[in-house]
Amino acid sequence: MLRRLASLPLRRPAAAPLAAGVRCISSGSVEITVPLNFWAGKRRTGPEKCSKDSVYEPATGRVLCQLEPCGAVEVDQAVKAAKLAFGYWSKMSGMERARVMIEAAHIIESNREEIAEMEVVNNGKSITEARLDVDSARLCIEYYAGLASTLAGQHVQLPGGSFAYTRREPLGICVGIGAWNYPFQIAAWKSAPALACGNSMVFKPSPVTPVTAVMLAEIYAKAGVPEGLFNVVQGGQETGSLLCQHPDVAKVSFTGSVPTGQKIMEMASKGVKPVTLELGGKSPLLIFKDSDLENAVRGALMANFLSQGQVCSNGTRVFVQKDIMPEFVKEVVKRTQAIEIGDPLLESTRMGALVSRPHLDKVLSFVDRAKKEGATVLCGGEPYVPSDPKLRGGYYMTPCVLGNCTDDMICVKEEIFGPVMSVLPFETEDEVLQRANDTSLGLAAGVFTRDVRRAHRVVEHLKAGSCFINNYNITPVEVPFGGFKMSGIGRENGQVTIEFYSQLKTVFVEMGDVDSLF
């Protein structure tokens, strides 16, 4: 997920040279020994007798660090720290909170390259993409800092001089549960609106990518938030369950798979806790014959191969009008074959490693299944072994384009979450709309056409929460992001997200005598 950054000058010119690619680390050179849990203002070790889990560097396949999962005691300590910090933070004015958040954004900007490098080491995506993720995190914090001082209620005049007013108040302790495809960015996307509204947060990263969320915790601490305002607890399903069911937690925000989202919603319902769920997608991209073909090809590549295809909003069902199908497929295959795969810390790399060995095997199995069902592999879909010896244990594959696909194939129906594009022909607008909407998911959708009336007409009928016209996977923080149907509940980013991290209190003020019936 990207936003336009080329036209946005950095506020601090001194930080700009970092973007030129001055390497501080290299793939295979990092070993992390510091604790990855963080609450009450500092890093914390896990329970003494806990079983540790290995965390791997995707680019090399080597062990990066050991994860210490938090149990009930540690979760409770983090929640208590968040509760104490909430008491201070919620009483601060919006302007006071904004100053601290802006300082956090400044720190992120000054440390952009270091954060991006650690994101690459832990996630496997290219350094070029990681920098943009860090920028998105910074911009999100800046955006909600700007909204913090604007939170306000409404005054309603009533008969006889009486009146009522509303107060927008924080919820309390919010839990954020992140995904492994955008570790740092998601931590910022969830914490920024929560903190702007006066809440505190306990955040649990994916156990696959635990490294950079704790860097964000340290940044917030350095910026001056109260100790315990943003805490990080590591762990898997058990830790997440403890957070969701903790009696002091007021809200849960989760990014991840549909089955896990359903479980979280069920757990939260027992405490009648509101949830924000940003779940999976199997999104359609519609390319009409009057499209600008160059832009349509670029859009299809952006819709499928960002972050090695590991993006929930990806438009992996590419519907192409029959008239331009041969020309489109020829160009897409040519561009896909030219994507440079390899060391994600090199400036020239455009596709790094998938996040883990099991996930790589899963994605490759989808390609094998597609071939058995009759799809044609037009390019890619195979394991890739870089020439650099230190990368040969990494989790790489060649980006894949599948032709001869039909709507009933598994590769078209199920979310693959890897660099696999399925291309399908269509003839009419009505036909493709029916096929595009024939899914239980509805996270995103896109259309390429020069006909402005068709573009808006098609978008109106697409059953998806985030739609794109003549572009794809652009996510400015000022704009809400989220899905329809089983792709989720609530929104991230944009002004509307304030409503999901606050609650409305109504106050009635009587200026006369009580008119009693008794």
Catalytic residue numbers, as ranges: 278
> In this structure, what are the phi and psi dihedrals at residue 458, rounded to the nearest 5 degrees?
-65, -45
Q: Is 432 left (phi over 0), alpha (psi -120 to 50) or beta?
A: alpha
Pairwise CA distance, residues 200 & 343, whole Å: 38
Residues whose CB falls within 8 Å of the CB of residue 504, separated by 6 or more in sequence, listed in order: 153, 166, 167, 168, 169
Q: In this structure, which amino acid lies at residue 71?
A: G
Q: Say if CB 300 and CB 332 are below 8 A apart.
A: yes
Residue 1's contacts (CB-CB under 8 Å, 6 or more residues apart) are 136, 182, 185, 306, 311, 313, 473, 474, 475, 481
CA–CA gap between residue 181 and residue 256 (Å, rounded): 9
Task: Taking the CA atoms of 11, 466, 152 and 100 in sequence, report the sign of the dihedral they define.
Answer: negative
Rounded Cα distance between 124 and 308, Å, is 9
3-state secondary structure at position 81: helix
| CA separation for the pair 414, 400 (Å, rounded) | 16
